[in-house]
C-alpha cells in the first residue's frame, strides 16, 4: 500500500529549488542589475560635473546679494551707541499684574485721576461704552489726542446750571498703564440763551465734587468691563508717549519725566526710598535728595554690589555722616558741578573734600515741559556713565 506522505528527501529538494527561484527573482527585480535597483550608492561612482558652457555673446556673473544689508548700530535706552560686546539686554520695565486689571483713584494735593494697569488700547473703547451706557452725549471724540468732551448736561438737583466734562486718557509712567484725568465745567443756563456755547475750559474743575463723582462712576465701570485680553486698534496710539523715559542732557545720563513738578518730586521721592535706596535728607524747594544706597539685587550679588561705599555686609546707617548743608558747602570747584548747583542757596565750591563721605545726591530740575533727574556723588560730580545709568534704571522701575 502506497504511503500518503512524500519522502522527506523529496520535500527538501522541492524547498531548495523554490528558494533558488525566489533568490533569482529578487535579483532580477531588485539586484544590482535588476529592474528596480537601488541608487543609494550611485554618488560613489559619480565624476566631476562638466562646466556649463554659455552660448556665444553671454557672460557669467558671480552670485551677489540682491539687497544690500546696511550696517546696524545698537543703542541703549539712553541713545548711546554700544558695541555687541558691551551691550547688555536691559531688564524689562515693570508692568501691571496682567492676571487682573487694577483700577485706583490716585490723589496728589487737589488733583485726582484714575490709574489702570491696562493699555490705552484697552481702556479707550470701554470709556466710550461707559458714556453710551449712561446716556451721556459726546460732543468731541479724538482718539489720537485721547480726548473726549461731553455735551452739556443738566442735573436734576441743579436746573439753573449746565455742566460738561472733559475726559483725557494718557499713557502712564510704565508700559501698558493708563491715566484718566477729568475736568468739570459748569455755567448758568442763561448763558446759552445769549448764544455763548463755546467756552474756555477752567484750569481746575469748577465743582470738585462733580469731578469726584464722575471719576468714581467711570472707575467702577472700567473695573468691571476692561479686559486685558481685548484691545482696540483705534486706541493703540491714544495718550501720546509714556510719562517717563531716558535721555542725555548736557552729555549726562538723565531720567526724563513728563510730569508737573510736584508730582515728579513725589514719585522720585517714593522711588528714592525703595530697593536699597534710603533718603537721609531732602530739600523740596531746591529739588535735592541726599540718599544712601545699600547693594540690592533680586538675583543675588550683581552690579549694584560693586557700588557699595562701605564694607561688605554692613547695614546702611540711619543717619548720614554729614548733613546736606555740609555737603553743599564743600562741592567740587568744577564747571560741571557749578552748572548744576550754582543757583542753589548756600552752595559753596571748594578744592578740599570731606573725610569719608558716603551716599549720593539726586537732583531734579525743570526743563521746559519736563522734569529732569540726575544722580551725582557727594561732591556734586557726575558718576561714571555705567553707574549713573544703573541707578537711574532702578529709580525709574519704582516710580509711581
How confident is the model over 106-147, as pLDDT tens digits?
999 889 999 999 999 999 999 999 999 999 999 999 998 999
> CATH topology of 103-225 equal to that of 244-397?
no
- Residue spans per domain, the chain: 103-225, 244-397
**103-225: CATH, from 3.30.530.50, 3.40.50.1110, 3.30.420.40, 3.50.50.60:** 3.30.530.50
* Burial status of residue 129 (CB atoms within 10 A of its CB: 0-12, 13-18, 19 or more): middle
Distance of alpha carbon 389 from alpha carbon 253, whole angstroms = 6
3-state helix, strand, coil in the chain (%, to 5): 25, 25, 50
What is the pLDDT, as a whole number, of residue 88?
67
Q: What whole-number distance in Å separates Cα of residue 229 and Cα of residue 304?
A: 37
The pLDDT value given to residue 56: 83
What is the reported pLDDT for 31?
55
What is each CA distance from 126 to 43, 103, 122, 142, in whole angstroms? 68, 13, 7, 15
The domain over range 244-397 is classified in CATH as 3.50.50.60:
no
Q: What is the per-residue pLDDT for 229? A: 61
Please give the grid coordinates belonging to residue 147. Answer: 480726548
Grid cell for residue 156: 436734576
Determine the Cα angle at 268 with ends 262 and 271, to 5°: 145
pLDDT for residue 235? 55
Q: Residue 393: how many CB atoms within 10 A of its CB?
A: 17
- DSSP strands (E only) in 327-391: 331-332, 349-350, 360-367, 370-376
Q: Determine how many CB atoms are found less than 10 A away from the CB of residue 26.
A: 11
pLDDT digits (tens, 9 = 90+) for 191-202: 876 655 678 999
**What is the pLDDT, as a whole number, of residue 320?**
94
Write down the pLDDT at residue 52.
78
Print burial letters for 78-117: b (CB count within 10 Å at least 16), e (below 16). Answer: beeeeeeeeeeeeeebeebeeeebebeeeeeeeebbbbbb
What number of CA atoms fall less than 13 Å from residue 313's CA on the CB side?
0
22: part of which helix (H) or strand (E)? helix 8-30
| Residues of the chain where predicted confidence (pLDDT) is lower than 70 | 1-12, 16, 19-46, 69, 71-72, 84-101, 193-197, 228-236, 296-314
Phi, psi dihedral angles at 256 (to 5 degrees): -110, 125
Q: Tally helices (H) and strands (E) across the chain.
A: 8, 17
Question: In whole angstroms, what is the distance from residue 133 CA to residue 125 CA?
Answer: 12
Q: What is the pTM for the complete model shown?
A: 0.74
Taking each helix axis from N to C end, the angle separating 385-397 and 261-271, rounded to the nearest 10 degrees, works out to 100
Amino acid at each position: 500500500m502506497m504511503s500518503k506522505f512524500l519522502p522527506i528527501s523529496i520535500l527538501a529538494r522541492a524547498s531548495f529549488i523554490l528558494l533558488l527561484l525566489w533568490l533569482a527573482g529578487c535579483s532580477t527585480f531588485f539586484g544590482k542589475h535588476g529592474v528596480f535597483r537601488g541608487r543609494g550608492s550611485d554618488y560613489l561612482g559619480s565624476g566631476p560635473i562638466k562646466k556649463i558652457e554659455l552660448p556665444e555673446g553671454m557672460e557669467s556673473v558671480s552670485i551677489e546679494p540682491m539687497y544690500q544689508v546696511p550696517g546696524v548700530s545698537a543703542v541703549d535706552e539712553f541713545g548711546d551707541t554700544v558695541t555687541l560686546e558691551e551691550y547688555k539686554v536691559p531688564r524689562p520695565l515693570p508692568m501691571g499684574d496682567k492676571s487682573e486689571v487694577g483700577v485706583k483713584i490716585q490723589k496728589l494735593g487737589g488733583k485726582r485721576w484714575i490709574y489702570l494697569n491696562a493699555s490705552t488700547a484697552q481702556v479707550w473703547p470701554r470709556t466710550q461704552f461707559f458714556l453710551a451706557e449712561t446716556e451721556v452725549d459726546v460732543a468731541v471724540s479724538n482718539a489720537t489726542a485721547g480726548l473726549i468732551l461731553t455735551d452739556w448736561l443738566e442735573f436734576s438737583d441743579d436746573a439753573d446750571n449746565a455742566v460738561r466734562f472733559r475726559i483725557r486718557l494718557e499713557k502712564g509712567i510704565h508700559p501698558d498703564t493708563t491715566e484718566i484725568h477729568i475736568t468739570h465745567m459748569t455755567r448758568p443756563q442763561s448763558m446759552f440763551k445769549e448764544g455763548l456755547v463755546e467756552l474756555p475750559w477752567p484750569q481746575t474743575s469748577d465743582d470738585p465734587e462733580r469731578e469726584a463723582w464722575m471719576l468714581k462712576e467711570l472707575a467702577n465701570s472700567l473695573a468691571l468691563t476692561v479686559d486685558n485680553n481685548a484691545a482696540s486698534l483705534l486706541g493703540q496710539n491714544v495718550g501720546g508717549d509714556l510719562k517717563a523715559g531716558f535721555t542725555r542732557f548736557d552729555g549726562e545720563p538723565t531720567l526724563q519725566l513728563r510730569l508737573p513738578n510736584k508730582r515728579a518730586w513725589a514719585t522720585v521721592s517714593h522711588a528714592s526710598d525703595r530697593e536699597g535706596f534710603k533718603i537721609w535728607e531732602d530739600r523740596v524747594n531746591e529739588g535735592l535728595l541726599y540718599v544712601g544706597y545699600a547693594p540690592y539685587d533680586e538675583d543675588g550679588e550683581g552690579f549694584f554690589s560693586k557700588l557699595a561705599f562701605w564694607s561688605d555686609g554692613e547695614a546702611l546707617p540711619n543717619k548720614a555722616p554729614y548733613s546736606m548743608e555740609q555737603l553743599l558747602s564743600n562741592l567740587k570747584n568744577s564747571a560741571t558741578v557749578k552748572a548744576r548747583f550754582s543757583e542753589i542757596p548756600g552752595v559753596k565750591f571748594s578744592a578740599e573734600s570731606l573725610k569719608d563721605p558716603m551716599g549720593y545726591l539726586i537732583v531734579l530740575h525743570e526743563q521746559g515741559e519736563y522734569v529732569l533727574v540726575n544722580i551725582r556723588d557727594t561732591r556734586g560730580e557726575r558718576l561714571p556713565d555705567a553707574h549713573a545709568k544703573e541707578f537711574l534704571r532702578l529709580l525709574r522701575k519704582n516710580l509711581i
